[in-house]
Amino acid sequence: MNLSLRFDIRCLKSYTFGMFKIILLPLFFISFSSVACDGGMFKQNIYSISSNTLTEKQFREILVDFQKTFSPEVKKKHKADLLVYGQWASDSINAYAERDMNAWIITLYGGMARHKHLTQDGLKLILCHELGHHLGGAPKKGTNKWSSAEGQADYFSTMKCLRKWWKEETWEAPEVPASVKKECAHSYSKSLDQRLCQRMGLAGKSVARMFQDLHQEAPVDFETPDQLRVTITNTQHSEAQCRLDTFFQGALCPVSEDVDFIYANQTTGACHIALGDSRGVRPQCWFAP
């Protein structure tokens, strides 16, 4: 693929009429199609030959489990069908959320799943991030009417999505940094909740390390939060450290995963300084409260 293209071919829709196939460009010719794409987890497609031990079978199983877990909620609350596509053969490192009428679409490429820093839990977080574009509430992107901002999708991915996905699962904890254990213990009194918080933090570290590697940024760590303080909310992609901070703050916020984010305001379902919260709030490296 020519990386100079200003759109990604995953956002193109083709329709066949007899012998003819018509390809529609959803973001540029709105009058011809209802399809809208969130723009992807990266600013452009990235290609890599790095790999981890994830197999195609595991990749497919994760996607099936994700769809099985969240399709009923999307159907019941939003009268939409959640469609999840896995392009295992592709080396593209990216993922997308799209909408086409009542179809809420998520596509994940094999190049991302095979990245050397991405764990299986990290892959699940990426799926949750894409679902966050559909369900994350405010703040939204300005590029379409429905997609939550990149930082908000990150916040949703741990605070609402992974918490729902993993709350009934047992977890064999690897080595967890002392700082992560300490922060999770401050937010939760029950050991089960603390371990879930730790697991979400490590998933976020996996994804942030992938961003760090691909963008050649400074190393990310729980103990070196991003010092940037924006005055206007950044709805696009942030630096890797800022994204790790957002994943972890979502894990630390004790508001129930059953309290949905909404588009009408930014406080419902969240931790927020306007509510007197100091922990689990969206980091100001992208969010201006």
Q: What band does 91 get if pLDDT is binned at 50, 70 and 90?
A: very high
For the chain, give the mean pLDDT. 86
What is the token pair recorded at 134?
A: 């559909």
Smallest Cα–Cα separation from 164: which of 250, 83, 97, 80? 250
Flag whether pLDDT at 14 surpasses 60. Answer: no
- The percentage of the chain sitting over the pLDDT mark of 70, rounded to a whole number, equals 84
Q: Could you tell me if 104 and 48 are in contact, meaning their C-beta atoms sit under 8 angstroms apart?
A: no
Lowest mean per-residue pLDDT among 22-36, 61-75, 163-177, 193-207: 22-36
pTM over 0.95? The answer is no
Taking CA atoms, 20 is separated from 14, 66, 153, in Å, by 10, 35, 38
Flag whether pLDDT at 270 surpasses 80. Answer: yes
pLDDT at 40: 72
Flag whether pLDDT at 276 surpasses 70. Answer: yes
Concatenate the DSSP letters of all residues of the chain into one string. --TT-SS-GGG-EEEEETTEEEEE-TTT-GGG---EE---SSSS-EE-----S--HHHHHHHHHHHHHHHHHHHHHHH--EEEEEEETT--EE-EEEEEETTEEEEEEEHHHHT-TT--HHHHHHHHHHHHHHHH--SSBPSSSSSPBPHHHHHHHIIIIIIHHHHTT---------HHHHHHHHHH-SSHHHHHHHHHHHHHHHHHHHHHHHHHTPPPP-TTS------SS---S---HHHHHHHHHHHHH--S-TTS---SS-SSTTSB-GGGT--SSBPPTTT---
Q: How far apart are CA 197 and CA 166, in angstroms?
A: 10
**pLDDT tens readout for residues 218-230:** 999 999 999 999 9
Flag whether pLDDT at 251 surpasses 70. Answer: yes
What is the largest distance, in Å, between two alpha-carbon atoms of the chain? Answer: 64
- Using alpha carbons only, give the angle 259, 100, 140 rounded to the nearest 5 degrees: 45
Q: Could you tell me if 156 and 287 are in contact, meaning their C-beta atoms sit under 8 angstroms apart?
A: no
Flag whether pLDDT at 96 surpasses 80. Answer: yes
Q: How far apart are CA 62 and CA 236, in angstroms?
A: 27
pLDDT at 1: 27
Residue given tokens 């894990």 in the structure block? 251
Q: How far apart are CA 241 and CA 124, in angstroms?
A: 19
pLDDT at 38: 72
**pLDDT tens readout for residues 39-72:** 676 655 565 556 778 999 999 999 999 999 999 9
Provide the Cα torsion 170, 174, 175, 179; round to 10°.
-40
pLDDT at 36: 66
Taking CA atoms, 232 is separated from 159, 228, 238, 270, in Å, by 23, 12, 13, 19
